[in-house]
């Protein structure tokens, strides 16, 4: 018997237990919904239908929003939080196979769409919507051969609802529906038993205007256009089925079974195969060159310049001689002066720590194989729940920094840490969700799910932020390496290239340059509905991003201090954080060059979600840059003798 194909939402609320338990998969223990299902000959195989998706509109719809063949009772599958947020709507269908039993010319049903239904079908064909199906937790794919015969086959997720075309000799464009599917189920059979496991689910779509004699007799009606007894099978679409109101459409299918050497544990490898490995390696090498260049600059500053400066400063015996010197030592009395809007800086640093922790743990789980691609929505669910639990570190980080600034209103900082970033993101998400509701798309998050998100936020995340803040504020404050003067020192006029705006904008270029190639694949995966599961590459890029943000911030911070400008707190955050601006600009470039989105609502959705992503990237990179500069300044000022 087949096991359930989706993990219950309740199980996913136990994120740590659920994700960590995946480690047992290699030892024969499997997560719910990820365990292999064993089938014997003639066992029933139920095909489930998922959302209708389009890369042109980015608005998913439920399968039965179109006049397709419906079962007597539509049963919704249990979905986890991530699946609901993705717009998945998994339901039963009339496509039922028997294991290892080929079927030809099976009639599913006959429909005659009315005016509105025909218009809906034409609109979906215009917008290039695809039908998504699932068998044994594997998505339906259409194999597409490349022109290069030696190149691996590319797999397209889902089958197009139909195509637009013209009859020979006519210039009028018509809409043709794909009403015949030739399914191919590949299975791996155990050599010692008759048990088999499904390892691939493929299909080829056809549009065929079926014909029959006499009266319609339901599924037993003999078709003239598809009859296995007379060896008349559907192999092309020479006489396609046009979409017109009141015109009959007969849905049919073939199913064939093929034994495969691919084992069940490796069945996702074909789907997840990236044919552009060389580009990924080029991205890594390109990013590493940037890191090596910055590392050389940091090494030069730390080992040569700083060593020379510290030796010279420590050898100075006359205070008047020290006053004649210029450089970063002269601002030692102001370098740890609390910045303007120190509480806001603490809030953003705490939020950045929360985001950093979530990403780090998620990537570690993913590269260890603990977040299986067969668990749809598992990655998003894990990220959401990890974000909630990382609130503990957000509160701790923000109040530790706030106490160092001699602040006393730690509860205000805690409330802002718990509410500001998620509040802004939730507000944008709520508006976008309202737009999706207006389009009657299945991608709209239901009220119950929205309530669950708010419950996770206020019921778990906010209390954890307060617990972390309380612990952080009760600890002794970090002592500054040098004493801060009571009267601020005047900052001399800076050259144009050290202007805060110029410096900040320059600082964001290299971190963005280190990740933008991988960013292309991530955007393609999200917006063009392609498989992405190369978390090994992504983790390397993440490490490179951390190093690049840290090093460019240290370099620019050193130049700033040498110019006797001691206001480095906010600038260190903004220097690395400005890479988010380039990310958003690149997303805009990607929209106009790679996507074919024409609807206004779809464009608003794209830029709304990319705004959220850029904001999160700003918080992440800004925090990395801030802590790098924080460590650097404390290190250099604790290394010199201050009278």
Q: What is the mean pLDDT of residues 342-364?
A: 93
Give the CA count within 13 Å in the CB-facing half-sphere of 185.
30
**pLDDT above 80 for 444:** yes
Lowest mean pLDDT among 83-87, 325-329, 409-413: 325-329
Burial class (CB in 10 A: 0-12, 13-18, 19+), 430: exposed
Predicted confidence band of residue 324 (pLDDT cuts 50, 70, 90)? very low
**pLDDT above 80 for 612:** yes
**pLDDT above 60 for 294:** yes
State residue 621's pLDDT score. Answer: 95
State residue 30's pLDDT score. Answer: 44
CA distance to 227, 247, 287, per residue, from 224 (Å): 6, 18, 61
Q: DSSP character for 461?
A: I
Lowest mean pLDDT among 193-197, 321-325, 505-509, 632-636: 321-325
Q: What is the mean pLDDT of the chain?
A: 82
Q: How far apart are CA 68 and CA 249, in angstroms?
A: 10
Predicted confidence band of residue 156 (pLDDT cuts 50, 70, 90)? confident
**pLDDT above 50 for 632:** yes
Predicted confidence band of residue 291 (pLDDT cuts 50, 70, 90)? confident
State residue 322's pLDDT score. Answer: 46
% pLDDT > 70, the chain: 85
- Domain positions in the chain are 43-271, 278-303+507-642, 341-475
SS (H, E, C) 6-62: CCCHHHHCCHHHHHHHHHHHHHCCCCCCCCCCCECCCCEEEEEEEEEECCCCCCCEC
CA distance to 85, 216, 217, per residue, from 225 (Å): 42, 15, 16
Q: What is the mean pLDDT of residues 563-581?
A: 90
Q: What is the mean pLDDT of residues 509-530?
A: 83
Q: What is the mean pLDDT of residues 10-32?
A: 34
Q: At what angle do helices 410-438 and 342-367 cross, to 10 degrees?
A: 60
State residue 5's pLDDT score. Answer: 32
**pLDDT above 60 for 275:** no
CB 625 within 8 A of CB 569: no
More reliable by pLDDT, 13 or 583: 583
Kindly report the pTM of this predicted structure: 0.83
State residue 536's pLDDT score. Answer: 77
201: enclosing H helix or E strand? strand 196-206
**pLDDT above 50 for 437:** yes
State residue 130's pLDDT score. Answer: 93
Nearest alpha-carbon partner for 158 in 5, 273, 51? 51
Predicted confidence band of residue 638 (pLDDT cuts 50, 70, 90)? confident
More reliable by pLDDT, 528 or 606: 606
Predicted confidence band of residue 246 (pLDDT cuts 50, 70, 90)? confident
State residue 147's pLDDT score. Answer: 67
State residue 308's pLDDT score. Answer: 67
Q: What is the mean pLDDT of residues 526-543?
A: 79
**pLDDT above 60 for 14:** no
More reliable by pLDDT, 20 or 189: 189
Structure tokens given for 552: 């460019």
**pLDDT tens digits for range 100-127:** 899 988 888 889 889 999 999 999 999 9
Q: What is the mean pLDDT of residues 141-159?
A: 77
**pLDDT above 80 for 271:** no
State residue 603's pLDDT score. Answer: 92
Structure tokens given for 274: 């990236």
**pLDDT tens digits for range 485-512:** 788 777 778 787 778 899 899 888 888 9
User: Quick one: residue 218, left, alpha or beta (phi over 0 = left, psi -120 to 50 = alpha)?
Assistant: left
Predicted confidence band of residue 581 (pLDDT cuts 50, 70, 90)? very high
State residue 171's pLDDT score. Answer: 80
Q: What is the mean pLDDT of residues 249-255?
A: 91
Nearest alpha-carbon partner for 257 in 406, 45, 93? 45
**pLDDT above 60 for 353:** yes
């Amino acid at each position: 018997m087949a096991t359930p194909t989706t993990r219950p939402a309740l199980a996913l609320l136990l994120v740590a237990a659920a994700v960590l338990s995946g480690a047992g998969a290699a030892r024969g223990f499997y997560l719910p919904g990820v365990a292999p299902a064993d089938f014997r000959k003639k066992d029933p195989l139920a095909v489930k239908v998922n959302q209708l998706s389009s890369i042109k509109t980015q608005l998913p719809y439920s399968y039965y929003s179109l006049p397709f063949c419906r079962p007597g009772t539509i049963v919704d599958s249990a979905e986890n939080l991530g699946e609901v947020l993705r717009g998945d709507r998994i339901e039963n269908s009339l496509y039922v196979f028997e294991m290892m039993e080929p079927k030809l010319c099976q009639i599913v049903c006959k429909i005659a769409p009315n005016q509105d239904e025909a218009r809906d079908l034409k609109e979906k064909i215009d917008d290039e919507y695809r039908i998504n199906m699932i068998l044994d937790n594997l998505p339906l794919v259409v194999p597409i051969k490349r022109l290069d015969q030696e190149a691996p086959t590319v797999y397209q997720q889902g089958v197009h609802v139909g195509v637009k075309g013209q009859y020979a000799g006519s210039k009028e464009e018509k809409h043709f529906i794909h009403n015949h599917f030739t399914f191919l189920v590949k299975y791996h059979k155990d050599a010692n038993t008759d048990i088999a496991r499904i390892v691939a689910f493929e299909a080829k779509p056809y549009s065929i205007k079926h014909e029959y004699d006499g009266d319609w007799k339901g599924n037993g009606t003999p078709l003239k256009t598809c009859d296995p007894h007379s060896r008349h099978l559907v192999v092309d679409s020479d006489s396609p089925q046009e979409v017109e109101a009141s015109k009959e459409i007969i849905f049919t299918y073939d199913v064939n079974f093929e034994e495969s050497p691919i084992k069940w544990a490796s069945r996702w490898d074909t789907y997840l195969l990236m044919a552009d490995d060389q580009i990924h390696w080029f991205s890594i090498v390109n990013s590493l060159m940037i890191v090596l260049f910055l590392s050389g600059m940091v090494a030069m500053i730390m080992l040569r310049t700083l060593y020379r400066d510290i030796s010279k400063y420590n050898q100075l015996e006359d205070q008047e001689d020290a006053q004649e010197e210029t450089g970063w030592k002269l601002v030692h009395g102001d370098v740890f002066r609390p910045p303007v809007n120190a509480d806001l800086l603490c809030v953003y640093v705490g939020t950045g720590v929360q985001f950093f922790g979530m990403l780090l743990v998620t990537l570690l789980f993913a590269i260890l194989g603990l977040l299986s691609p067969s668990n749809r929505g598992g990655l998003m669910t894990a990220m959401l729940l990890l974000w909630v639990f990382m609130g503990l570190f957000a509160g701790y980080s923000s109040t530790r920094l706030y106490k160092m600034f001699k602040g006393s209103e730690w509860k205000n900082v805690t409330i802002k840490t718990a509410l500001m970033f998620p509040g802004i993101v939730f507000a944008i998400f709520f508006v976008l969700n309202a737009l999706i509701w207006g389009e009657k798309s299945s991608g709209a998050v239901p009220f119950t799910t929205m309530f669950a998100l708010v419950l996770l936020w206020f019921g778990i995340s906010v209390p954890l932020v307060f617990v972390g803040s309380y612990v952080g504020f009760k600890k002794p404050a970090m002592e500054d390496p040098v004493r801060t003067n009571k009267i601020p020192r005047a900052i001399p006029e800076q050259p144009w290239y050290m202007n805060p705006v110029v410096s900040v904008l320059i600082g964001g270029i290299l971190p963005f340059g280190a990740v933008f190639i991988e960013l292309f694949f991530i955007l393609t995966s999200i917006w063009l509905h392609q498989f992405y599961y190369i978390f090994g590459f992504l983790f390397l890029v993440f490490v490179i991003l951390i190093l690049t943000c840290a090093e460019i911030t240290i370099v620019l911070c050193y130049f700033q201090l040498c110019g006797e400008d001691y206001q480095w707190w906010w600038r260190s955050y903004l220097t690395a954080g400005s890479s988010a601006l380039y990310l958003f600009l690149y997303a805009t470039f990607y929209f106009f060059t790679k996507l074919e989105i024409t609807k206004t609502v779809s464009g608003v959705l794209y830029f709304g979600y990319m705004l959220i992503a850029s904001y999160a990237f700003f918080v992440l990179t800004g925090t990395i840059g801030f802590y790098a500069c924080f460590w650097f300044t404390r290190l250099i000022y604790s290394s010199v003798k201050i009278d």
